[in-house]
């Protein structure tokens, strides 16, 4: 009986090991080759494909003022419309995605199931309608359709002030909150969840429009 048991365990072990090995992508020695004067494509493992999750011209499901597009302010055409013109909408530069698997996340549509896979990002180069610095936070809903693909999360703090431009984000597992960093100012913003904000993952909540976030000292 002991021998049979051992054989079964070893069989399962080798099967699991083989299965895990089969799932590893093939190594690529130079995934992003850099060649002066040329634009080169990404080189992927044959087991992987590259697909667009969102692009700058995506209209967010709950736009507010100039915060209409995922990667542009709504303050001009997305591309120049006249020959020789350089006038176009400001590119907001969504920066450093944080990928999270969360439950009970809602959005602008209270009847829609947003799934569980998300990318969060702050924007590094955004302005408001008065052309002054005003960042915003967005969430790409990877399980959603086109109409619900990008949600505007916030563009003001808890006092109604404009958000500064962010250059990075991460997940703080101990408090289960997102942290956003303000470049050059040695400041971090911690997103605290409430009934209006979609950043809390501990309980279901309702979210119909952009929420607000608070700035906390983070050591």
In this structure, the answer to whether residues 96 and 169 fall within a common structural domain is yes
Q: Which of 31, 50, 69 is the last residue of a domain?
A: 50
pLDDT, mean of residues 128-141: 92
In this structure, the answer to whether residues 107 and 192 fall within a common structural domain is yes
In a domain, 219, yes or no: no
Q: Which of 50, 70, 87 is the last residue of a domain?
A: 50
In a domain, 25, yes or no: yes
Task: Tell me which residue of 199, 126, 109, 107 sits closest to 213, measured CA to CA.
Answer: 199
Confidence of residue 99 (pLDDT cuts 50, 70, 90): very high
E strands in the chain: 59-64, 67-69, 94-101, 117-123, 137-141, 150-157, 168-172, 177-182, 187-190, 211-213
pLDDT, mean of residues 134-144: 94
In this structure, the answer to whether residues 163 and 66 fall within a common structural domain is yes
In this structure, the answer to whether residues 136 and 182 fall within a common structural domain is yes
3-state secondary structure of 148: helix
Are the CB atoms for 192 and 178 separated by under 8 Å? no
Range scoring the smallest mean pLDDT among 130-134, 153-157, 209-213, 215-219: 215-219
In this structure, the answer to whether residues 66 and 3 fall within a common structural domain is no
The average confidence (pLDDT) of the chain is: 78
Asked if residue 200 has pLDDT above 60, the reply is no
Number of domains in the chain: 2
Range scoring the smallest mean pLDDT among 97-101, 181-185, 209-213: 209-213
Confidence of residue 106 (pLDDT cuts 50, 70, 90): confident
Report the alpha-carbon angle 28-168-123, nearest 5. 110
Express as a percent the part of the chain with pLDDT over 90: 36
At residue 111, the pLDDT reads 93
Mind listing the pLDDT tens digit for each residue in 26-67?
A: 998 888 878 888 888 888 999 888 888 999 999 999 999 999
Are the CB atoms for 71 and 57 separated by under 8 Å? yes
In a domain, 218, yes or no: no
In this structure, the answer to whether residues 7 and 112 fall within a common structural domain is no
In this structure, the answer to whether residues 91 and 4 fall within a common structural domain is no
For residue 102, give both structure tokens.
């969360």
At residue 189, the pLDDT reads 66
Q: What are the distances in angstroms from CA 120 to CA 91, 129, 154?
A: 18, 24, 12
In this structure, the answer to whether residues 73 and 141 fall within a common structural domain is yes
In this structure, the answer to whether residues 94 and 199 fall within a common structural domain is yes
Domain that holds residue 35: 1-50
**pTM listed for this prediction:** 0.76
In this structure, the answer to whether residues 7 and 64 fall within a common structural domain is no
In this structure, the answer to whether residues 32 and 125 fall within a common structural domain is no
Asked if residue 20 has pLDDT above 80, the reply is no
At residue 40, the pLDDT reads 84
For residue 167, give both structure tokens.
């250059």
In this structure, the answer to whether residues 84 and 171 fall within a common structural domain is yes
């Amino acid at each position: 009986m002991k021998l049979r048991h051992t054989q079964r365990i070893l069989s399962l072990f080798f099967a699991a090991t083989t299965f895990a090995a089969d799932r590893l992508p093939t190594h690529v020695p130079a995934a992003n080759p850099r060649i002066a004067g040329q634009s080169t494509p990404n080189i992927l493992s044959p087991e992987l494909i590259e697909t667009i999750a969102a692009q700058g011209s995506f209209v967010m499901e709950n736009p507010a003022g100039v915060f209409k597009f995922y990667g542009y302010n709504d303050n001009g055409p997305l591309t120049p419309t006249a020959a020789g013109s350089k006038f176009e909408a400001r590119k907001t530069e969504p920066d450093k995605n944080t990928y999270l698997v969360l439950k009970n996340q809602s959005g602008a549509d209270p009847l829609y199931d947003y799934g569980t896979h998300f990318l969060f990002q702050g924007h590094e180069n955004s302005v408001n309608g008065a052309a002054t610095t005003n960042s915003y936070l967005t969430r790409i809903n990877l399980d959603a359709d086109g109409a619900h693909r990008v949600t505007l999360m916030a563009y003001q703090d808890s006092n109604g002030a404009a958000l500064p431009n962010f250059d990075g984000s991460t997940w703080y597992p101990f408090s289960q909150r997102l942290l956003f960093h303000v470049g050059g100012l040695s400041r971090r913003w911690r997103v605290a969840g409430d009934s209006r904000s979609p950043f809390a993952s501990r309980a279901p909540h309702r979210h119909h429009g952009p929420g607000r976030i608070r700035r906390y000292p983070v050591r």
